[in-house]
């Protein structure tokens, strides 16, 4: 054994998304850290829409775990089970832990290798470039940001955005919805509200789509951005933590971000039941609180000294192409270039890279 290393406590972080990546990075010199993630890279999730119109953008937004997490072990596999002292992975490993941090936010089916993910963006981009008309189903943040990216970069294409609800971006306020709608219309995006397309009836290569209102839409390419992305907690349903999941599958945590009733298991990010809009910058705040608490517990500090987390009043910025955005702040909603300067130019990619100790610009 190398001197000292063996005495370090083992912290296992499950999920290498925004929260997990930041936590692993923060803990790597204080504990024996193992990061379990099915991908060999950390992806800045909201950059994927820009990467579909500009595939090279993904070069900075897909970061190999080993590039920022240099003093720990990466296990490239899904976690499929846990006991009170071990995590089991799909590739057959059993990993012991002293402390566990669950950060499995959303389980999007993305490729394991960074190279394949980059190729996926190239293919999406070819699909967009070779189409003269695009149909996007779903007017949540994914559908709206994608429509914005395509409308801004390919103004000659006919873009239709269809949403089954009464307004776009229903997870935030109506003012933000209206501003986004107005901007999309100004860019010639046809927005159809309170209409849907039966996804089960769509066949491969189909170009004509009929909406629930009987409208016929012709589109060379289709993007489906509907429904909530699957939460990364299904695997916990067969474990002793199943009692710790709320009705929607989120882990119930206390104010120290420990799973309720557990002394050595924490949860951060979208997987938690914290009553706030689920956002990456909040997942990072959770990671900072948990890092503090892990360090304190490992040093034998008192429970009463544990840091606590208070649900934040949120700030949401939805990018509308490369220059504009709509921002919902605690006391007002603004649209246009000002919030656009904040998010839309670089989509916080440089800032996120800096946050994990990498050059904001270079790959
Ligand atoms: C279109 C869009 C725009 C957004 N814009 C913003 C924005 O501007 N600002 C902002 O702050 N937030 C934004 N968000 C929200 C942000 O992306 C999420 O809140 C954030 O990614 C949550 O981080 P997380 O670590 O909890 O989960 P995720 O980032 O979802 O990471 C979860 C990780 O866990 C892994 N995982 C899942 N299951 C398992 C398993 N069984 N075993 C091991 N690993 C597993 C996944 O592969 C993934 O790596 C946006 C989201 C979308 C969709």
Instruction: List pLDDT tens digits, range 279-294.
Output: 999 999 999 999 999 9
Tell me if 34 CB under 6 Å of ligand 1: no
pTM for the full predicted model: 0.94
pLDDT at position 6: 59
Q: How confident is the model at residue 4 (pLDDT cuts 50, 70, 90)?
A: very low
- For position 353, what pLDDT does the model report? 97
Query: From atom 27 of ligand 1, which residue's Cα is the shortest distance away?
Result: 105
How confident is the model at residue 1, as a pLDDT? 37
- Residue of 27, 28, 43, 40 whose CA lies nearest to 105: 43
Residue 299: per-residue pLDDT: 95
* CB neighbours of residue 10 within 10 Å: 16
Name the average pLDDT for the chain: 94
pLDDT (mean) for 153-161? 97
Q: What is the pLDDT of residues 336-350, one digit of tens each?
A: 999 999 899 999 999
Percent of the chain with pLDDT over 90: 90
3-state helix, strand, coil in the chain (%, to 5): 35, 25, 40
- Summarised one tens digit per residue, pLDDT across range 55-108 is 999 999 999 999 999 999 999 999 999 999 999 999 999 999 999 999 999 988
| Binding site membership of 15 for ligand 1 (Cβ less than 6 Å) | yes
Q: Is residue 79 lining ligand 1, measured as CB closer than 6 Å?
A: yes
Torsion angles phi and psi, residue 304, rounded to 5: -65, -15
Helix (H) or strand (E) holding 92: none
Query: Is the CB of 143 within 6 Å of ligand 1?
Result: no
The owner of tokens 């989509």 is 347
Question: Any idea where the domains of the chain sit in the sequence?
Answer: 5-38+77-108+229-312
Nearest to 140 by CA among 159, 157, 165: 165
Closest ligand 1 atom number to CA of residue 271 = 26
Q: Is 112 in the pocket of ligand 1 (CB under 6 A)?
A: no
Q: Is residue 166 pLDDT above 80, yes or no?
A: yes
- What is the topology classification, in CATH, of domain 5-38+77-108+229-312? FAD/NAD(P)-binding domain (3.50.50)
């Amino acid at each position: 054994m190398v001197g000292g290393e063996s005495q370090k406590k083992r912290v296992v972080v499950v999920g290498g998304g925004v929260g997990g990546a930041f936590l692993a990075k923060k803990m790597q010199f204080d504990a024996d850290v193992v990061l379990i993630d099915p991908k060999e890279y950390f992806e800045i999730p909201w950059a994927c829409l820009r990467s579909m119109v500009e595939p090279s953008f993904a070069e900075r937004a897909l970061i190999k775990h080993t590039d920022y997490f240099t003093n720990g072990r990466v296990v490239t596999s899904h976690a499929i089970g846990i006991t009170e002292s071990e995590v089991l992975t799909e590739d057959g490993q059993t990993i012991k832990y002293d402390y566990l941090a669950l950060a499995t936010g959303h389980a999007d089916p993305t490729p394991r290798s960074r190279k394949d993910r980059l190729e996926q963006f190239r293919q999406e981009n070819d699909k967009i470039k070779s189409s003269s008309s695009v149909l996007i189903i779903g007017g949540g943040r994914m559908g709206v940001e994608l429509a914005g990216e395509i409308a801004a970069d390919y103004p000659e294409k006919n873009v239709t955005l269809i949403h089954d609800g009464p307004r776009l971006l229903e997870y935030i306020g109506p003012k933000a919805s209206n501003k986004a709608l107005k901007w999309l219309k100004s860019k010639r995006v046809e927005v159809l509200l309170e209409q849907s397309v039966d996804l089960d009836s769509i066949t491969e290569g189909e170009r004509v789509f009929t909406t629930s209102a009987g409208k016929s839409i012709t589109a060379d390419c289709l993007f489906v951005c509907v429904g909530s992305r699957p939460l990364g907690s299904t695997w916990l349903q067969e474990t002793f933590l199943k009692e710790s999941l709320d009705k929607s599958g989120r882990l119930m945590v206390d104010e120290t971000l420990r799973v309720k009733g557990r002394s050595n298991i924490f949860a951060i990010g979208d997987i938690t039941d914290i009553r706030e809009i689920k956002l990456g910058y909040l997942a990072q705040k959770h990671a900072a609180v948990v890092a503090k608490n892990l360090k304190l517990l490992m040093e034998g500090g008192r429970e009463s000294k544990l840091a606590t987390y208070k649900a934040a009043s949120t700030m949401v910025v939805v990018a509308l192409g490369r220059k504009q955005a709509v921002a919902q702040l605690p006391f007002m909603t603004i649209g246009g270039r000002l919030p656009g300067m904040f998010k839309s130019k670089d989509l916080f990619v440089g800032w996120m890279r800096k946050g994990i100790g990498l050059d904001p610009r270079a790959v």
